Chain A
Amino acid sequence: AQKITQTQPGMFVQEKEAVTLDCTYDTSDPSYGLFWYKQPSSGEMIFLIYQGSYDQQNATEGRYSLNFQKARKSANLVISASQLGDSAMYFCAMREGPPGAAGNKLTFGGGTRVLVKP
């Protein structure tokens, strides 16, 4: 079974509008972390936002917010006020196990390509 699922292969969004990128995950570990990364065409992985499994509040980082619904095992990324520079691939990823534990790897979803239209 897929551990991280991103069901939207590609999306168009109008500049200045908000966009929600879906991510669902599957784990039996009570301690885990969810990450969102942006990958522009250059290939670099840019960290956007993090949500820990025990965090009570939804994470926010500037224009990025994470809609964490633990019971549904979903961690959707919301980008508000889209900008042309937001056009990129976006990946949801999960770390199973507590932060800092040796060898904890990241598992990535398939990604969503976002294209912001002027």
Chain B
Amino acid sequence: GAVVSQHPSRVICKSGTSVKIECRSLDFQATTMFWYRQFPKQSLMLMATSNEGSKATYEQGVEKDKFLINHASLTLSTLTVTSAHPEDSSFYICSASSSRVKNYGYTFGSGTRLTVV
């Protein structure tokens, strides 16, 4: 099956610092990676769609200068939360669609729990 490895699983950072989250597709090439944010007891909200070799497409209301997405290769996409503040504390999870998954299903990373103090 298709596997997406996401790191770190948990991170605590000080307010004002930046945090980078990585998602790697281990056994397939992820042309597109989707980045979601999930606040406690809420659903997954799409933040942006990351396309290999081009600029990410951000959803309405998501600050592209705050949430920097880089997808430099077919196996690695990164999300950098710049100048993090406590309100950025959330669960961030990436996902990619793959032909290796039945019905071109989606495989998810294990998520990153970000706490900004």
A interface vs B, CB < 8 Å?
Answer: 33, 35, 42-45, 47, 50, 52, 91, 95, 99-100, 102-111
Contact = CB atoms under 8 A, between A and B. Distances in A.
Interface in B57-97: 57, 91, 93, 95, 97
B104 A100 contact: yes
Interface residues of B, number: 26
Interface string B86-117: 00000101010101001111101011010000
Interface of B: 31-32, 34, 38, 42-46, 49, 51, 57, 91, 93, 95, 97, 99, 102-106, 108, 110-111, 113
Contacts, number: 56
B110 A105 contact: no
A35 B91 CA distance: 21
Contacts of A102: 31-32
Nearest to A100: B104
